Every structure is written in C-alpha cells, then in structure tokens.
Structure 1
C-alpha cells in the first residue's frame, strides 16, 4: 500500500493505445523520476516485441515541455504507456502476418494519412514562428488578459493514520482502534507523527510521520475532502471511513486558491502564443495558395456526387 492511500485513484496521465491525452493535476504527490535510458536501450518487452529508448524519446518529442516534466516524474503513467505501446506492436505484427496492410481499404487510408502528414509537415515548415516570439511584452499582455482564468487551486497538506479493514467482520474493531488513536492524537502534547509511524498501515506515509505532502482538494479521497476543509491548521479529525479503511487526519498546512504568477505559467503561455501565431500564419498561407488562381466549384457535379453517396 502506497502513501497515496488517502488520495483519489487515477493517474496523472490517461494513455490510450493510439493517442495520448494528458490531464495535468497540480500538486500530485511526486514519484522519483528515473533517468531516460541511452538511445536504443530496451526498456520493456512483451514476447518478441520490445520498446526501447528511441520509442520513449519519440513520445517525449510529441509533448509540450511542461507535460514532459510531469510524465518523467510519474512512473505509473510511463508504465501504462509502455504496456499500450507493446500491445500496439503485438497487434501490428499479427496484422502484418495476415497481409492486412495490403487490403485495398487499408492502402487507401494509408495514402490519405501520408498525404496529411506531408501536408502538415510542409505547412509547418512554411509557417515557422520566429524564435524570439513571443517577446516579454507579448507574454505580459497575454498574462494580464487571461490571468483571471489562471487559478491555482487551494492546497492542503495533511497527515494521516490509516487502518485497513481486512473484512466486514473486522469493521467495528478497526473503528474502535481508530477512535482510540484519534483520542490519543487529540491529547495535549501528542506527537501525531510518532503515532502515524507506529500505528499507520500505509507504509509510504507512515515512514514520513503520516505526511502525504501538499495536495489540491480534488486529489484527496471524496470522504476526506469535506473533513479537510472543515479542519483548522493543527487540528485532528475524528476517524472517518473510506472504501479503503479508516483514517485519522491532521491538517498541517493550507494555502488558499490564488492566481498563478507569470513565472509559473510562462512556459505554457509561450507555447500557447506560438501555437496561435503558427495557426494564424498557416491559415494565411492557405488563403494565399487559394488566391493564386481562380477557384471554381461545379454545383451540378457536386450535387450529383452527393446524390451518389445516398
């Protein structure tokens, strides 16, 4: 059992087999990041399929810088992606063994995909944004225009004493034990951290005196959230029951919601402005291509083609 036992389930990253969607949650308890392997070194295997550091590097190159840093620090998300990538390779091998890529509909889709890849690559190369964009003034103006939406959620630092419930018959006895520990934690001069180290059954947080680190409310278990928001710093809760067991919670620090500073969002803001500028340049480039010669659309032929689709 990890020190995240008081945290809501669900990783920072949800990774599909083909596309990767990142959901960034500030305050996620960090996992020690491992160094990326040297290029070409195999990092995972499934039968005769393997994923090497080149595959991993290709993944990172698709992501914004801020997302790369979070992914590097979340081993569970990386392992989820590795499993998905290995499954893709195994499925592709099966399909190739059956000559699937030679099917007419697959070849038609392949040609269309290649056309789109070439088009996007060419268009990107023709609409590159200058390296010095955005300027500091551009960043400041964009920040001032949007800072009302750049909310950093309230953060709560809590410690816990966690007791698991092995079966339904043990519920009452565990509840009584949690009540006794809560009473001890409420006593004058009580050392909550020592109680957590001695009695908590969540090894990760117990080793830290029960501390699970600063977390936004959404990262805590639903049963814990309401209790935490009612506690004052330094207060200890009565035992509360979750689907995992019983928790005795101490609020050690809280930070109210606030507007992110420019320095905190500078990287993301720069990427957004550059993407916006390139999108505008791409649209203008396409418009210019269309204006090179007269565009004509044969309405009758178009209607006939549409009719044939019914």
Structure 2
C-alpha cells in the first residue's frame, strides 16, 4: 500500500480497497475532526507529529499497521474540550511542570532543614513517635502517635488518647 501511495495513487481509493479499519475504510480512510485523545499512543503520536499532506511511514499498533496522511490539524480551544479532555490536559501539563522543576530547578534551591534536636535524655530513654512527640520509658505507641503508658498508680489506666 505504501509503495502505491508513494507512486501517486489516491489515498482514499487505496484506503477503501485495502483498509480493514471499520472506523474509516468506507470513508476513504478519513477521520474527520476526530479527537486524538481516543487513539492508541503510536497512532496518536504519528497523527500529531507527521507533516501535513505527506504519506507517513507505516505505524504499528495492537490493531495492525497503519499508513497515515494528515490533511489538517484543528486545535480546539480549551472551552470546546470535554470535561475528561480538560482534566487529561491539566494532568499532563502538571506532570510536565513537576518533571521540569525536578530536573532543572530543585537542585538550585538553597534548602535548610531546621528541625529541633532531640534532647540527650530522650535519646537514651527510648523511641519517639513523630516530630516533637515523646514516649515514656517502657511505654509503647499504638501507631497513631499516642502513647500507652500502661497501668497508672491506684489501679487507674492511661489510654494515651
């Protein structure tokens, strides 16, 4: 197919004759005003990057091989996008911003960590649970930062909550 197209054959005629794509074969291979968001990644990338009005190299996807000719690209305005497309675009841009910051700016920051030092008596007496919390020698913590000190004097109990 690609050789015939490179030789000057009409794209629509070739697509109608040879395409097995149920979404476009009867339409001469045309996906008019279709949203690329629904396409598989390899097909989408080719459609977004291929030069206009050029027959591209075959693209392999899980559906087979595709020969693509991009006739035009219509970039919709943000207000015309569906809610899920807006969310996907926002997530993509946020991810790119975070990656850019991590790769380019994070190392340049002058970060200072000013956490309080642990008193010497605490270092010797046992564990701590969370910033600034302490435990009583021989006590246990319940995983929520609360201390269970066991039985208090006179038979009363301390729940630590």
Specify the TM-score bucket, using the shorter chain as the normaliser. 0.3 to 0.5
Q: Which gives a bigger RCO, structure 1 or 2 (Cα 8 Å, sep 6+)? A: 1
Of structures 1 and 2, the larger Rg is shown by 2
Bigger proportion of residues as helix: 1
Q: What is the TM-score of this pair, normalised by structure 2? A: 0.45
Q: What is the TM-score of this pair, normalised by structure 1? A: 0.24
Bigger proportion of residues as strand: 1
